Structure 1
Amino acid sequence: MAKTGQAKQIIENRRGDTFGGWPARTLLEAGDIPIAQIAELALREGQSSNPLYRVHRWFARRVGSQFRSILTALTLPPDKANAFWDTYLGKTSVHGAIVLDPFIGGGTSLVESMRCNARVIGFDIDPVATFITRFELAASRMEDHYLEIEQICKEVAQLITPLHRTMVDGVERDVLHHFWVQVKQCSNCQSDVELHPHFQLAYSKEKGLQWVFCKDCHAVHELPIERKVLHCSCGKRTTVSAGTHGNGIMTCPTCKHTQKIAADDLDGAERPAWRLFAQEYLVGTGKNCTRHFKRIEEADQALYDRATRKLRMIGNGLLVPTRSIPREGRSDGRPLIHGIRLYADFFNDRQKLHLHLLGSAIGRVESDEARRCLELAFSEHLTTNCMYTAYAFGYRRTSPMFSIHSYRHITRPVELNPWQDGVGRGTFINTVRKISKAIAFAKAPEELHPEGTRVAYEDDFERKQACLGSVDDVLSGSATAAIETQSSEELHLLPDGSVDLVLTDPPYFDNLSYSELSDFYLAWHQALGIAPPPYDDNVTSAPILQNLAITRRSDEAIKGYQERLQQIFMECNRVLKPDGICVFTYHHKLSSAWDALGTALLHSGLSVTKVLPMRGEGQGGLHTYDGTIKWDAVLVCRKGNQVTSASLDNAAVPRTAIKQAKQQASAYAEDLAKARKIGFRDPDRLNLERAMIVASAVIDPANPHLVPLSDALKTSTTG
Structure 2
Amino acid sequence: MAKTSQAKQIIENRRGDTFGGWPARTLLEAGDIPIAQIAELALREGQSSNPLYRVHRWFARRVGSQFRSILTALTLPPDKADTFWDTYLGKTSVHGAVVLDPFIGGGTSLVESMRCNARVIGFDIDPVATFITRFELAASRMEDHYPEIEQICNEVAQLITPLHRTMVDGVERDVLHHFWVQVKQCSNCQSDVELHPHFQLAYSKEKCLQWVFCKDCHAVHELRIERKVLHCSCGKRTTISAGTHGNGIMTCPTCKHTQKIAADDLDGAERPTLRLFAQEYLVGTGKNCTRHFKRVEEADQALYDRATRKLRMIGNGLLVPTRSIPREGRSDGRPLIHGIRHYADFFNDRQKLHLHLLGSAIGRVESDEARRCLELAFSEHLTTNCMYTAYAFGYRRTSPMFSIHSYRHITRPVELNPWQDGVGRGTFINTVRKISKAIAFAKAPQELHPEGTRVAYEDDFEREQACLGSVDDVLSGSATAAIETQSSEELHLLPDGSVDLVLTDPPYFDNLSYSELSDFYLAWHQALRIAPHPYDDNVTSAPILQNLAITRRSDEAIKGYQERLQQIFMECNRVLKPDGICVFTYHHKLASAWDALGTALLHSGLSVTKVLPMRGEGQGGLHTYDGTIKWDAVLVCRKKSGVIKGGGAVIRETAFKDAILEADSHFEVLSTYKRIVFKIPDFTNLARALVVSRSFLGEADASIRPMSDALKNIPTPGEM
Q: Which of the five TM-score ranges fits, normalised by the shorter chain?
A: over 0.9
Quote the offset at 1:657 in angstroms.
1.1
Post-superposition CA distance 1:135-192 (Å, at most 9, x none): 0000000000000000000000000000000000000000000000000000001110
> How many angstroms apart in 2 are the aligned matches of 1:187 and 1:197?
19
Residues 14 and 475 of structure 1 are in contact (CA less than 8 Å); yes or no, is this contact kept in structure 2?
Answer: no
Quote the offset at 1:676 in angstroms.
1.0
Residues 10 and 472 of structure 1 are in contact (CA less than 8 Å); yes or no, is this contact kept in structure 2?
Answer: no
Identity fraction in percent: 91
Post-superposition CA distance 1:503-550 (Å, at most 9, x none): 000000000000000000000000000000000000000000000000
How many residue pairs get aligned? The number is 716
Residue 306 of structure 2 is matched in structure 1 by: 306
Quote the offset at 1:17 in angstroms.
3.8
Residues 502 and 582 of structure 1 are in contact (CA less than 8 Å); yes or no, is this contact kept in structure 2?
Answer: yes
Which deviates more from structure 2 when the two are superposed, residues 363-372 or residues 620-629? Answer: 620-629
> How many angstroms apart in 2 are the aligned matches of 1:612 and 1:202?
44
C-alpha spacing 1:15/1:562, structure 2 compared with 1 (3 Å) = farther
> How many angstroms apart in 1 are the aligned matches of 2:717 and 2:668?
15
Quote the offset at 1:13 in angstroms.
7.0
Which deviates more from structure 2 when the two are superposed, residues 632-641 or residues 445-454? Answer: 632-641
Quote the offset at 1:714 in angstroms.
1.0
Residues 605 and 642 of structure 1 are in contact (CA less than 8 Å); yes or no, is this contact kept in structure 2?
Answer: no
> How many angstroms apart in 1 are the aligned matches of 2:69 and 2:5?
37
> How many angstroms apart in 1 are the aligned matches of 2:7 and 2:129?
27
Which deviates more from structure 2 when the two are superposed, residues 15-24 or residues 269-278? Answer: 15-24
Post-superposition CA distance 1:348-380 (Å, at most 9, x none): 000000000000000000000000000000000
> How many angstroms apart in 2 are the aligned matches of 1:320 and 1:236?
42
> How many angstroms apart in 1 are the aligned matches of 2:11 and 2:581?
18
Residues 11 and 498 of structure 1 are in contact (CA less than 8 Å); yes or no, is this contact kept in structure 2?
Answer: no
Residues 570 and 642 of structure 1 are in contact (CA less than 8 Å); yes or no, is this contact kept in structure 2?
Answer: no
Which deviates more from structure 2 when the two are superposed, residues 697-706 or residues 615-624? Answer: 697-706
User: Secondary structure at 1:583's aligned position in 2?
Assistant: strand
> How many angstroms apart in 2 are the aligned matches of 1:718 and 1:548?
32
Quote the offset at 1:675 in angstroms.
1.1
Residues 650 and 700 of structure 2 are in contact (CA less than 8 Å); yes or no, is this contact kept in structure 1?
Answer: no
C-alpha spacing 1:176/1:66, structure 2 compared with 1 (3 Å) = same
Quote the offset at 1:2 in angstroms.
13
Quote the offset at 1:296 in angstroms.
0.2
Residues 602 and 643 of structure 1 are in contact (CA less than 8 Å); yes or no, is this contact kept in structure 2?
Answer: no
Residues 3 and 496 of structure 1 are in contact (CA less than 8 Å); yes or no, is this contact kept in structure 2?
Answer: no
Residues 347 and 387 of structure 1 are in contact (CA less than 8 Å); yes or no, is this contact kept in structure 2?
Answer: yes
Alignment gaps of 5+ in structure 2: none
> How many angstroms apart in 1 are the aligned matches of 2:121 and 2:620?
31
Quote the offset at 1:699 in angstroms.
1.3
> How many angstroms apart in 2 are the aligned matches of 1:657 and 1:3?
47
Quote the offset at 1:5 in angstroms.
7.0
Quote the offset at 1:65 in angstroms.
0.1
Post-superposition CA distance 1:281-328 (Å, at most 9, x none): 000000000000000000000000000000000000000001000000
User: Secondary structure at 1:525's aligned position in 2?
Assistant: helix
Which deviates more from structure 2 when the two are superposed, residues 141-150 or residues 618-627? Answer: 618-627
Residues 14 and 476 of structure 1 are in contact (CA less than 8 Å); yes or no, is this contact kept in structure 2?
Answer: no
> How many angstroms apart in 1 are the aligned matches of 2:12 and 2:557?
42
Residues 61 and 105 of structure 2 are in contact (CA less than 8 Å); yes or no, is this contact kept in structure 1?
Answer: yes
Post-superposition CA distance 1:601-639 (Å, at most 9, x none): 000010000000000000111100121000000000001
Which deviates more from structure 2 when the two are superposed, residues 327-336 or residues 13-22? Answer: 13-22
User: Secondary structure at 1:677's aligned position in 2?
Assistant: coil
Residues 130 and 483 of structure 2 are in contact (CA less than 8 Å); yes or no, is this contact kept in structure 1?
Answer: yes
> How many angstroms apart in 1 are the aligned matches of 2:183 and 2:2?
63
Post-superposition CA distance 1:408-440 (Å, at most 9, x none): 000000000000000000000000000000000
Residue 683 of structure 2 is matched in structure 1 by: 685
User: Secondary structure at 2:459's aligned position in 1?
Assistant: coil
Quote the offset at 1:266 in angstroms.
1.4
> How many angstroms apart in 1 are the aligned matches of 2:643 and 2:659?
24
User: Secondary structure at 1:138's aligned position in 2?
Assistant: helix
Residues 178 and 415 of structure 1 are in contact (CA less than 8 Å); yes or no, is this contact kept in structure 2?
Answer: yes
Residue 709 of structure 1 is matched in structure 2 by: 707
Residues 100 and 501 of structure 2 are in contact (CA less than 8 Å); yes or no, is this contact kept in structure 1?
Answer: yes
Residues 13 and 476 of structure 1 are in contact (CA less than 8 Å); yes or no, is this contact kept in structure 2?
Answer: no
C-alpha spacing 1:692/1:2, structure 2 compared with 1 (3 Å) = farther
Residue 357 of structure 2 is matched in structure 1 by: 357
C-alpha spacing 1:343/1:645, structure 2 compared with 1 (3 Å) = farther
Alignment gaps of 5+ in structure 1: none
> How many angstroms apart in 1 are the aligned matches of 2:645 and 2:515?
30
Matches within 5 A, 1:562-641: 562-641=562-641
Which deviates more from structure 2 when the two are superposed, residues 591-600 or residues 666-675? Answer: 666-675
Post-superposition CA distance 1:378-403 (Å, at most 9, x none): 00000000000000000000000000
Which deviates more from structure 2 when the two are superposed, residues 451-460 or residues 658-667? Answer: 658-667
> How many angstroms apart in 1 are the aligned matches of 2:309 and 2:645?
64
User: Secondary structure at 1:461's aligned position in 2?
Assistant: coil
Residues 606 and 641 of structure 1 are in contact (CA less than 8 Å); yes or no, is this contact kept in structure 2?
Answer: no
Residue 236 of structure 1 is matched in structure 2 by: 236
User: Secondary structure at 1:638's aligned position in 2?
Assistant: strand
Quote the offset at 1:645 in angstroms.
8.3
> How many angstroms apart in 1 are the aligned matches of 2:188 and 2:9?
76
> How many angstroms apart in 2 are the aligned matches of 1:643 and 1:182?
63
C-alpha spacing 1:16/1:416, structure 2 compared with 1 (3 Å) = closer
Quote the offset at 1:641 in angstroms.
4.9
Residues 245 and 251 of structure 2 are in contact (CA less than 8 Å); yes or no, is this contact kept in structure 1?
Answer: yes
> How many angstroms apart in 1 are the aligned matches of 2:39 and 2:451?
13
Residues 389 and 399 of structure 2 are in contact (CA less than 8 Å); yes or no, is this contact kept in structure 1?
Answer: yes
> How many angstroms apart in 1 are the aligned matches of 2:208 and 2:278?
22
User: Secondary structure at 1:676's aligned position in 2?
Assistant: coil
Quote the offset at 1:570 in angstroms.
0.2
> How many angstroms apart in 1 are the aligned matches of 2:717 and 2:381?
42
C-alpha spacing 1:684/1:14, structure 2 compared with 1 (3 Å) = farther
> How many angstroms apart in 1 are the aligned matches of 2:3 and 2:330?
39
C-alpha spacing 1:524/1:325, structure 2 compared with 1 (3 Å) = same
User: Secondary structure at 1:276's aligned position in 2?
Assistant: strand
> How many angstroms apart in 1 are the aligned matches of 2:495 and 2:121?
13
Quote the offset at 1:6 in angstroms.
6.7
Matches within 5 A, 1:298-697: 298-641=298-641, 647=647, 650-697=648-695
* RMSD over equivalenced CA pairs, Å: 1.6
> How many angstroms apart in 2 are the aligned matches of 1:241 and 1:87?
55
C-alpha spacing 1:509/1:25, structure 2 compared with 1 (3 Å) = same
Which deviates more from structure 2 when the two are superposed, residues 182-191 or residues 11-20? Answer: 11-20
User: Secondary structure at 1:58's aligned position in 2?
Assistant: coil
Residues 667 and 717 of structure 2 are in contact (CA less than 8 Å); yes or no, is this contact kept in structure 1?
Answer: no
Residues 566 and 600 of structure 1 are in contact (CA less than 8 Å); yes or no, is this contact kept in structure 2?
Answer: yes
Residues 3 and 495 of structure 1 are in contact (CA less than 8 Å); yes or no, is this contact kept in structure 2?
Answer: no
Which deviates more from structure 2 when the two are superposed, residues 210-219 or residues 694-703? Answer: 694-703
Task: Provide the TM-score with structure 1 as the length reference.
Answer: 0.98
Quote the offset at 1:4 in angstroms.
6.8
Residue 94 of structure 2 is matched in structure 1 by: 94
C-alpha spacing 1:69/1:188, structure 2 compared with 1 (3 Å) = same
C-alpha spacing 1:718/1:83, structure 2 compared with 1 (3 Å) = closer
Quote the offset at 1:704 in angstroms.
3.5
C-alpha spacing 1:389/1:361, structure 2 compared with 1 (3 Å) = same
> How many angstroms apart in 2 are the aligned matches of 1:98 and 1:5?
17
C-alpha spacing 1:513/1:467, structure 2 compared with 1 (3 Å) = same
Residues 510 and 551 of structure 2 are in contact (CA less than 8 Å); yes or no, is this contact kept in structure 1?
Answer: yes
> How many angstroms apart in 2 are the aligned matches of 1:94 and 1:323?
44
Residues 62 and 617 of structure 2 are in contact (CA less than 8 Å); yes or no, is this contact kept in structure 1?
Answer: yes
Residues 604 and 642 of structure 1 are in contact (CA less than 8 Å); yes or no, is this contact kept in structure 2?
Answer: no
Post-superposition CA distance 1:459-516 (Å, at most 9, x none): 0000011000000000000000000000000000000000000000000000000000
C-alpha spacing 1:202/1:666, structure 2 compared with 1 (3 Å) = same
Post-superposition CA distance 1:583-618 (Å, at most 9, x none): 000000000000000000000010000000000000
> How many angstroms apart in 2 are the aligned matches of 1:532 and 1:32?
43
User: Secondary structure at 2:6's aligned position in 1?
Assistant: helix
C-alpha spacing 1:312/1:645, structure 2 compared with 1 (3 Å) = farther
Residues 212 and 240 of structure 1 are in contact (CA less than 8 Å); yes or no, is this contact kept in structure 2?
Answer: yes
